[in-house]
Chain A
Amino acid sequence: MDTRVELLKRFYNTMNPRMLKLEAEIYGFNFLDALAANDITLEYGQLSEKLIQKYKLLNLTEQHLNQFLQGHINKEYNVCQYFNQIANNIFCFNLDNNYKVNNTALIPETTLALKTLKQYLEEYALTPLVIASGRGYHTWCRLDTPVDNNQLFNFSIRIAAKVMASLHEQGYNYNKIKFSVYPNPRVVTRGSLRLFGSKHIKTKEFSYVYSSHGLLDETSSWKYFEKYLTSKIIAKDQFLQAHTAVLQEIQ
């Protein structure tokens, strides 16, 4: 198996292995028949902008997942995964440009929100992994042990609120960005996130890691991703301390 597939599986190991969303250019009924022949269920398909097809697939086996991840690494398509419905060892802040047009442009509000978000997380000794998503940033935190989704959400929604409040206080309009937190227990089966190692389906840009030195190239991004997994994982107790502190601050 490609070591990068193993890395992805390790990083995202609490995500639901039985379902995923594929973002692809492939289409046609023979493709759907191929899925069915492999006992994969298409829950729904979606034709979005620029002829991009999205397929929510269910009933995957581990072998299917391995194969899809290999295709993702080969940049044949993108794989997006769904969070575990009960508990996860990762949570993510998804920051996007909220404009209808030209929405892959990096706007000041996104940059400032990311800077503030990182600052708040690091105040609690939570080191995030920031990945350029094509329309903004995915800011992941990886824990050593799964935590109940409600605790993850209660923490992350408050951090997001603090970031928005900070933007407002500095005279920026936070409505210009979309700020989503994952996992959200209310919609855990419908919100998926693109995995690291993808290329953005519209911009064709790789999902580069954003480090303190700026955006890394593709090779360095993979190295950083591996390094994060081996040396920057957050202890559950550290997270729980941060959770308690944030909930005391914002009731």
Chain B
Amino acid sequence: MRNVTPFSGISSSITTTQQPFQHPKELFSIKTIAIDLDDTLNNFTETLQNTDFSYKNSYGISPEKFESYLSQAKQAAVIDTDLEITDFTHFCYQIHEQCYLLAKANTDGVRFMHWLKEHHWKIIICTHRDLRLSITPTKKWLKENDIPYDYLFSAINKIVFCKLWKIPYLIDDSIFNIEYGKKYGIQVYYPIMEKHSQLPADVGKGFHSFDEVKQWIHE
């Protein structure tokens, strides 16, 4: 394990190392879970596909391009390009940002989050969203839907994040995370959707209701 430089910026009395957590409170309740937002706690894809988005000048593209881009954004099309930021990626962000606020919370998921809180779980909302851009709508939506959490994190690779931060459980619909969770010792639970029908039986654990997860994390 790597020793981390004493964190002079915070307190000279604190030397943080990547050792098992030593805080007395934590010795009694090392229960940590990471939970995804889009299509896990909300209906992001359904919102994206069913919302009638209107053309606005602020998109910075022509009405014709808007129609074409919108159609591709709704299909989650990936444009083959070497570039990081393009007109299309910028457009997609603007559409997604609207969905972040319009998406409906999964009431079963919200109840589950309260259950976790009541049972002293440390809750990390772990999203693929770029929080640099979307922190405001994300926090607003969480507050409006009364969703409790301890920390909000964005991670390009959630399995790496969970492994690094020693988070044993991840609830996420992503096929990549479900497949790779097992390999890296992260137990991934997922809300069963059509896209999961081709998954091998021995990876992850699908559920129809968050109540099922309560049983599994108590086992």
Residues of A within 8 A of B (CB): 22, 25-35, 37-38, 40, 42-49, 51, 56, 64, 67-68, 70-71, 74, 76-77, 98-101, 103, 175-176, 178, 187, 190-191
Give A76's nearest chain B residue, CB to CB.
B5
Which of under 10, 10 to 19, 20 to 34, or 35 or more describes the interface residues of B? 35 or more
Q: List 28 A-B contacts (CB under 8 A).
A: A22-B9, A26-B5, A27-B164, A28-B166, A29-B21, A29-B32, A29-B122, A30-B16, A30-B22, A33-B23, A35-B10, A42-B151, A44-B135, A46-B132, A47-B155, A47-B156, A47-B157, A47-B161, A47-B164, A51-B160, A64-B10, A76-B5, A76-B8, A100-B82, A100-B83, A101-B82, A190-B132, A190-B135
For residue B153, which residues in chain A have a CB less than 8 angstroms away from its CB? 44-47
For residue A191, which residues in chain B have a CB less than 8 angstroms away from its CB? 132
For residue A45, which residues in chain B have a CB less than 8 angstroms away from its CB? 151-154
Kindly state the separation between the CA atoms of A74 and B7 in the bound complex, as whole angstroms. 11
B83 touches A48 (CB 8 A): no
Contact of A38 among B10, B86, B156 (CB under 8 A): B10
Give A45's nearest chain B residue, CB to CB.
B153
Contact of B4 among A26, A32, A56, A98 (CB under 8 A): A26
Give A189's nearest chain B residue, CB to CB.
B136
Asked if B77 is an interface residue, CB under 8 A from chain A, the answer is no
For residue B156, which residues in chain A have a CB less than 8 angstroms away from its CB? 47-49
A44 touches B85 (CB 8 A): no
Give A28's nearest chain B residue, CB to CB.
B18
Contact of A175 among B83, B133, B160, B166 (CB under 8 A): B83
- Shortest Cβ distance from A98 into chain B, in angstroms? 5
For residue A99, which residues in chain B have a CB less than 8 angstroms away from its CB? 82-84
Asked if B14 is an interface residue, CB under 8 A from chain A, the answer is yes
For residue A35, which residues in chain B have a CB less than 8 angstroms away from its CB? 10
Give B138's nearest chain A residue, CB to CB.
A44
